[in-house]
Structure 1
């Protein structure tokens, strides 16, 4: 697939989209045939297909797999074996997924033309948006975009996030001049590996162009809110730079200094005064519209766990600027677009594009919104893209040109309708994930193992952890994990409403132990990306979890099948737990992390 052939604009892009969705079944069969033809001699497919490209044989013989089942093949390539183990084309990089396996990031194979597919999807966004908001090419986009640390594998292939891959690619760095690609941030600021310097320079560039900004955004809502917290702390420095026309000396990256120097051509005391007046006026409700008064919409991922950030974004936007989700993508594959971007964020549905990969779906029982990753899936139960049914839940399965075959992505989706013959899906959740702030994803088993490692510290001091639950607290920026613990001294006979007095250092040590036991991605977010705040343990009164059981049973839970929830959402349960808190303790240091 030639990258130039994939650059669609305006009406041509929309016409192409209509053609693809009208012919979804034929396009999917063509894509799968092409995947099989290219990769039929690979070690992996040969084992099941014996060189055949027959689609019915593929569906009958090739198993539906989880990461654990393909990881050995990928690690062989990472360690220097040839790409032909799984791919007919050279694997050029390994995309580091936010999902984890055994505490380590998942590595997804990627070939050179994958960048063409990602660019193709990006190039569809503005034609779709321009249908609803004409004139977006008459100003700038203030998108806060960041790269993450990458590392070489023993084979020399880089291992990095999918977004870092794209921002560092010629597709982004050498993009052709286009009004829709007119960003406030210089590329040097986006590509700066120091997240603090990158954020400072991008916010400063946005301030300098404040009246030309028509679009605000970040990839994830959490990143946008983190940037606003940074702005809250550093706006006096930014205003000072604007006033003097010189960059703060704390910015030491040479490329950033050169790029920002070109923007800070002269002192601008008038603009500095505007920023100071706006940012010092008291409440920051509606601050986005005051700093960037011509903003037409705010773009970010707001589905799944990111939905928890909608109230804070509505606060900062004053409820007057639409919140927009535009596309659905993952490290494994880019999937589809939102054809109604101005809908309520809670109603977002993505149309899967049949030319991005080959899509299949595992039906889930009615009302079931999470699957068992280890459960073996029988091939005859899996359905194709055009065969899903409205209202039903499915787990997404993908086959790609780069060497993933019938791979369970882990996303649970619900069909909301069809656009022509292509289904539209609402993202429901990641399978088994109970806690997430940024790109971290912690499931119940991970949390249990981490708490188990920490409670040994309590037991060594004669305390018992009677019960616990958790909560992803996004009222702070960055958000952080909260654990509610009910504890007891093993020598204490009588029941008392207050928990035993425990040394603060012991509970802080428990916080550290939990964080050290959580997976690689969580520890990276905490220690390197700073996108997750220190873990907090809240000690609750004795009897709190009995009160919680009473509450949940009164709301319809079965007393015979009741289990304490391992995670709670905002609502009566969280309110009850917080009303019983008698002490709060935070992790005093970052967990260990390395690239």
Structure 2
């Protein structure tokens, strides 16, 4: 595709954004009308609307639900009943959520045209990026994408992750091979079911093309950091492949063998020497810029719970590469894009595209104060919700979506804050999932509160050149009173330390040494977390004495990668994996506890008098 066609394609995408956001109200009404017209005779809608397609009747009569409300219908379709239970179009697949953020995997219905909507949103990203960083069509993108082996429902419908669905679709495989879609990873490597072989081949391809790479990334920051850890353990093998022109014998997948063998057709000892010099250095600080010197940014989700990974990504890039979150999507629906992708990660806001589904919002509060008065399973009055164009600047909302595939007034569970508007379309900052993570008594701590408190506490590690790379939590009620337990993986960055290629970044540490000599640092971290939690928690701790002192359990380097492996082995996807911020699985708790190196408790009660 020549430059003029590329420019035209980008201009058309940007015009679409302006057109849709300028008429957001009209577009939303037309979307809902179309959904009701198509689906009014379904069993689900007929129960509430008796064949009507009137919008006011929809808003009066159709309840706002959680997964519990739609699950029986989805299960019936999975077992072989007709799609007409919930949608007027055949359901072609069930999309499986990861289950790591909400606690249980869910199956979401999908129809064929949903792929068109997802592709539409993907096609907006590069025109937006190219406005900010011209010349991105002059090199390659090293994007690390993975699929997960799919299963089938009893009726034979494919059941798979939403990204696996997209990568296996004709939309991805047949995408225009223009220079914006010039990936280092061959499709055969992306589509390999063995995640280790896929990772190896994609990193090998990225290293072979290291001087052409302009963009780095993965879907989530956690997956990108997993790739760096994998590279630390395997760079010697990768260099050997490049030096000899022979693929490592551990790669046995036929499609990977085929595509990578042709890429390695000629030995390249000079390139292998370059990579070896970089990877054998004592510190991996800034390694991304050294391995891929032309890279201009890292694309990965770093909002919400992924914000935890920003310091690690900054370390590996020496803070020279912007961290870009381009879009907001879920298994249920794709929502919107970031029109200012080079903004600070803390300021990321997504503009919801009004043609992706019908959006409503449950008000939660304003002026920075979240009113968590609508419980996860509580009934929400129909007149409580507002439309897309009715949200107010600065206020917090829970997102509710209605889709063509059969979700009606479905609570996504995400808490968003309105930060601005693009034309008539609001822009939202993702705050957290709408679930309570920890509770012992009257206390209720959510993801955002936990993240804020840990963000404050981990700063106490900085004077010791130590970094909190990952965390999760657990409400321990095995003792009286029960107490919060935080699992922390800490590394100490020592410039002169020798990397240990069995443990990746964590090897540049002497973590146990740090803990042995600075017990008070971790104790102060405990109390810093407690001091930042809300008034009710602090009162339960210091006055009512119904919650015990908070505990930090420091786990061995690499523990959270083992936790990720556990969830992937249980059916999770690398692409969609998010470290659970609260652990409920006994198997996962057993794994974490088996790697605890040291334990610390709050040395005193937190201040609680307001």
TM over 0.5: yes
Residues 52-103 of structure 1 deviation map (CA, whole Å, 9 limit, x = unaligned): 1111110000000000111000000000000000010000000001247996
Distance in 2 (alpha carbons) for counterparts of 1:227 and 1:141:
15
Compute the displacement of 1:369 (Å): 6.4
Deviation at 1:174, TM superposition (A): 1.7
One of 460, 469, 473 as aligned partner of 2:484: 469
Q: How far apart are the structure 1 equivalents of 2:184 and 2:272?
A: 17
Which residue does the alignment assign to 1:137?
137
The answer (yes or no) to whether the contact 1:434–1:442 under 8 Å persists in 2 is no
Distance 2:9 2:404 in 1: 25
Cα deviation per residue 1:276-312 (whole Å; 9 max; x = unaligned)? 0011121111000000000011000000000000000
The corresponding residue for 1:115 is: 115
8 Å CA contact 2:101–2:433 kept in 1: the answer is no
Matches within 5 A, 1:570-589: none
Instruction: Summarize the alignment of residues 13-412 of structure 1 with structure 2, pairs less than 5 Å apart.
Output: 13-99=13-99, 104-366=104-366, 367-368=369-370, 370=372, 371-412=374-415
Partners of 1:22 and 1:421 within 8 A in 2:
yes
Q: Residue 442 of structure 1: CA displacement?
A: 13
Cα distance, 1:432–1:288 mapped onto 2, change above 3 Å = same
Distance 1:451 1:78 in 2: 37
Does the 8 Å contact 2:95/2:108 carry over to 1? yes
Structure 2, unpaired ranges of 5+: 1-6, 439-446, 451-471, 492-502, 507-521, 527-548, 550-554, 580-587
Work out whether 1:535 is the aligned partner of 2:592: yes
Could you say what secondary structure the match of 2:98 adopts? Answer: strand
Q: Is the 8 A contact 2:474 2:486 kept in 1?
A: no
| Partner-residue secondary structure (3-state), 2:211 | helix
C-alpha contact (below 8 Å) 2:146/2:574 kept by paired residues? no
Between the two proteins, the alignment pairs up a number of residues equal to: 500
What is the deviation of 1:176?
Answer: 2.2
Deviates further, 270-279 or 519-528: 519-528
What is the DSSP-based 3-state SS (H/G/I as helix, E as strand, rest coil) of the residue aligned with 1:9?
helix
**Contact map agreement 2:190 2:202 (CA 8 A) in 1:** yes
Aligned-residue offset at 1:431: 1.1
Change (3 A) 1:330 1:218: same
Deviation at 1:339, TM superposition (A): 0.2
Report the TM-score when normalising by structure 2.
Answer: 0.76
Q: Distance in 2 between matches of 1:336 and 1:531?
A: 20
- How do residues 486-525 of structure 1 correspond to structure 2 at under 5 angstroms? 523-524=570-571
- For residues 450 and 378 of structure 1, do their structure 2 counterparts lie closer, same or farther at Cα, with a shift above 3 Å needed? same
Give 5+ residue unaligned stretches, structure 1: 1-6, 436-440, 456-463, 486-498, 500-506, 560-595
- Please say which of residues 251-260 and 364-373 is displaced more in the overlay: 364-373
Check the 8 A contact 2:473/2:487 in 1, yes or no.
no
- Native 8 Å contact 1:434 1:443 kept in 2: no
Per the alignment, residue 418 of structure 2 pairs with 415
- TM superposition shift of 1:114: 0.4
How many angstroms does 1:224 deviate by?
Answer: 0.2
Q: What is the RMSD of the two structures over their aligned residues, measured on CA atoms?
A: 3.3
Deviations 1:533-578 (A, max 9, x none): 941356646xx35x35x2x31xxx349xxxxxxxxxxxxxxxxxxx
Q: Distance in 2 between matches of 1:167 and 1:323?
A: 23
Secondary structure at the aligned position of 1:98 is classed as coil
Task: Tell me, yes or no, if the aligned pair for 2:216 and 2:295 is still in contact at 8 Å.
Answer: yes
CA contact (8 A) 1:412 1:431 kept: yes
SS in 1 for 2:154: coil
Residue 365 (structure 1) shift:
2.8
Deviations 1:481-513 (A, max 9, x none): x9x99xxxxxxxxxxxxx9xxxxxxx99xx9xx
Counterpart Cα distance in 2 of 1:248 and 1:65: 51
**TM-score, with structure 1 as normaliser:** 0.78
In 2, are the aligned partners of 1:95 and 1:109 still within 8 Å (CA)? yes
SS at match of 1:185: coil
- The 1:50/1:530 distance shift into structure 2, 3 A limit, reads closer
- Secondary structure of the 2:76 match is helix
